[in-house]
Amino acid sequence: MGEGRSSGTGLIRKVRHRFGISDPQFRREMSVMLGPSITSGNRVTALHNGDEIFPAMLEAVREARVSITFETYVYWSGDIGQEFAEALSERARAGIPVHVILDWAGSVQMDGDLLVQMEEAGARVQKYRPLRWHDLTRLNNRTHRKILVVDGRVGFTGGVGIADLWKGRAQDPQHWRDIHFRVEGPVVAQFQAAFNDNWIKTTGEVLNDAAFFPLLEPAGALDAHMFIASPTGGGESMHLMYLMAIAAATESIDLAAAYFVPDELLVDALVAALDRGVRLRILLPGPHLDSETVKIASRGSWGELLRNGADIQIYQPTMLHTKLMVVDGEFVSVGSTNFDMRSLKLNDEASLNIYDRDFALEMTRAFEEDLVRAEPCTLEAWCARPLRERVSEQLIRPLRSQL
């Protein structure tokens, strides 16, 4: 698996298949090349849709005793935004250190009163990369990470933002489909380190005592690590992670992607996996995708995959916002990272990788439950798409790296 390399423009060569997911070499390279090291003794609980996700997150915040760190992209006004502001404010008034990073662009729909409420309660709230005329070059770099850590012991990550669109159970187009994860065990320290990365960038301050990094005992049986990517420091690591996992596949790849705009290297890697006999199932948003530009750009990349045997399914009931990859029924990657160049090269992202067959089976079952609510896209249907769609795809093509 040694053909991937970087240049000034990023990775330019294919990562070749040299060993499988089950080979110890795969874990060694994922730890050494991407880092941090894989930790043992973790527990990961999958939470489906807002009805499960928000109560679990709010309960953890309300039970905080020594610290809260919270970083998110979307934070909008609404019932959920108000609930989180109240819970964080109450803990801050109780004397608990509360540190919050909100992306400037992702929180533009947030009522300023919520921000004032948290700050007046004693929470320290930072906006990530606010618009400044003298520093427009950084405007395209957003934090898309979704990290909540309570007492340094319980972590949350996944796809949800703080907005009413994520409420409910994905029952209609006004309630999105998503998965978030509650995590305990040694890997939570890596969640905290990921938050610290952008807290340092934003404030110049390090959060480094036992309130944030306590001794963590084993809480379960899962092997996992969380690593981060940013264009200011290792921006290719997410790209390389996907390429390495796809290159190691020998049996199956299940990919649920809210925004699917792969580059040529990723398409080539998926086609190479298909050529090896790997079953590839891709679940994508359908009529309720919230970005028409992404929908157009995504569709243009389906042809080569379909011609080589990929099974592409289009989720129908609502916006599919899940970010999930399961490889060979053993490796699972979740977090904030989308399967597009914005996530892989422009945004600050955080992904949790789990190495466990039982957990992979659980995620495969969830993936297949979503497939029941999807419709296949055949090669014939893709080839028969209207001329206006083909023209739109060509017009959008030069912008794919920004989507």
Environment class of 190 (CB within 10 Å of its CB; exposed 0-12, middle 13-18, buried 19+) = buried
**For 187-214, what is each residue's pLDDT tens digit?**
999 999 999 999 999 999 999 999 999 9
Q: Are 98 and 88 in contact (CB under 8 A)?
A: yes
Backbone angle region of 259, left / alpha / beta, with phi > 0 → left and psi within -120 to 50 → alpha: beta
Q: What is the pLDDT of residues 145-171, one digit of tens each?
A: 999 999 999 999 999 999 999 999 999
Spatial CA neighbour of 238 closest among 129, 145, 365:
145
Joined together, the tokens standing for residue 58 give 């709010």
State in Å, rounded, how far the first CA of the chain is from the last one: 28
Residue 10 Cα distances to 4, 144, 297, 345, angstroms: 10, 20, 21, 9
Look up the pTM and report it.
0.94
Per the CB < 8 A criterion, the answer to whether 269 and 246 are in contact is yes
Q: How confident is the model at residue 141 (pLDDT cuts 50, 70, 90)?
A: confident
Amino acid at 110: M
Q: Are 187 and 225 in contact (CB under 8 A)?
A: yes
Query: 3-state DSSP call for residue 263?
Result: coil
- Residue 135's pLDDT band (cuts 50, 70, 90): low
d(CA 325, CA 205): 34
